[in-house]
Structure 1
């Protein structure tokens, strides 16, 4: 390793030394692209939270959001072979305090479950916070959209918020959680969930 580093640092590439400078440019550009292309592709496939929107209605603070790039080929394969996919959207609302640690007001979670019914060739989507809204579709694209988005999640009662105070919502998604205890409910300690997570996203606002 030390010898290879010395060659690159102290002497030009023997092949490129024999070529005119302008001939070398396409070669150098190609080598540069090839060296960074895998990292670029990896970044494109990294799941990320997008389109976070905070509104209010029916006396509650409401949250809507979507996640992009959550499905990998492995997840598609597991789904096709009968595995259930579970996405857990984790939300924490804090009141920002200048010069002090932010005050955590509440933590909430929203769980989406997707499975494939091989007999009927349909995808079954279940939002576990509202099992009455089970949906079925033959379209994989539609099933992915259901799993990756939510709207109107009640976070906290507006009566618990102070007018014109600064707030922030932190959000993260667990894409491959382990087994969860039955009756997990709506509030889930973030530290107790395993699996692959997205980066945490934050949106700041004033009520």
Structure 2
């Protein structure tokens, strides 16, 4: 249906979305997208020290109405969590949006697509959309550490530097 152009965004140094696609299944409006530059070297170092990382995704859909405030259709929030088992040397990824799936992989290169990609998120049922209307899908992500146990908060004070956010990325489309 609609695809966001990621070519210009490849030059962005911070975390950002690329390859955003809004399409339909037989029953739902679907969202696909990929987060780039999501981890800093400090985040990877903390991860390898056993500190889990949490990626919070926010997706909003509005119907654009001229001469009238836009109508919010839905607002969805979900998380991806990345952790590293220092004893087994395995990465665990939990994704919430499609029935809370868990994956375990051996390398960070295998873990990154799982933590960074959103594949086929159901936004709304098609019956909720009006034909020949303009809609705006907005997406952003907050990348941060999970809350540390109280005993570690004084030992690892630098982790607050990890908190990163993407800008809102918007795509308008006609249904």
Bin the TM-score by the shorter chain.
0.7 to 0.9
Length, aligned pairs only: 150
Q: CA RMSD in A?
A: 1.7
Which stretches of structure 1, 4 residues or more, deviate above 2 A after TM superposition?
Answer: 128-133
Output the CA distance in 2 between the equivalents of 1:133 and 1:49.
22
2:150 equivalent in structure 1: none
Q: Is the 8 A contact 2:54 2:146 kept in 1?
A: no
Q: Is the 8 A contact 1:62 1:154 kept in 2?
A: yes
List gaps (5 residues or longer) in structure 1: 1-42, 180-194
Q: 1:45, CA displacement in angstroms?
A: 2.7
TM-score (structure 2 length as normaliser): 0.80
List gaps (5 residues or longer) in structure 2: 1-10, 148-162
Which structure has the larger Rg?
1
Q: 1:130, CA displacement in angstroms?
A: 4.2
The question of 1:126 aligning with 2:94 is answered yes
Change (3 A) 1:97 1:173: same
1:98 equivalent in structure 2: 66
Q: Select the structure that is richer in helix.
A: 1
2:32 equivalent in structure 1: 64
Change (3 A) 1:131 1:77: farther
Residue in structure 2 matching 1:164, options 127, 132, 136:
132
1:84 equivalent in structure 2: 52
Which structure's relative contact order is higher, taking Cα pairs within 8 Å and 6+ residues apart?
2
Q: 1:89, CA displacement in angstroms?
A: 1.2
Q: Select the structure that is richer in strand.
A: 2
Residue in structure 1 matching 2:21, options 33, 53, 62:
53
Q: 1:206, CA displacement in angstroms?
A: 1.1
Q: 1:179-207 CA deviation, whole Å, 9 max, x = no partner?
A: 5xxxxxxxxxxxxxxx5310110011111
1:74 is paired with a residue of what secondary structure?
Answer: helix
TM-score (structure 1 length as normaliser): 0.68
Change (3 A) 1:130 1:118: farther
Change (3 A) 1:178 1:140: closer
The question of 1:175 aligning with 2:146 is answered no
Q: Is the 8 A contact 1:80 1:116 kept in 2?
A: yes
The question of 1:155 aligning with 2:110 is answered no
Q: 1:157-199 CA deviation, whole Å, 9 max, x = no partner?
A: 11110011100101110111665xxxxxxxxxxxxxxx53101
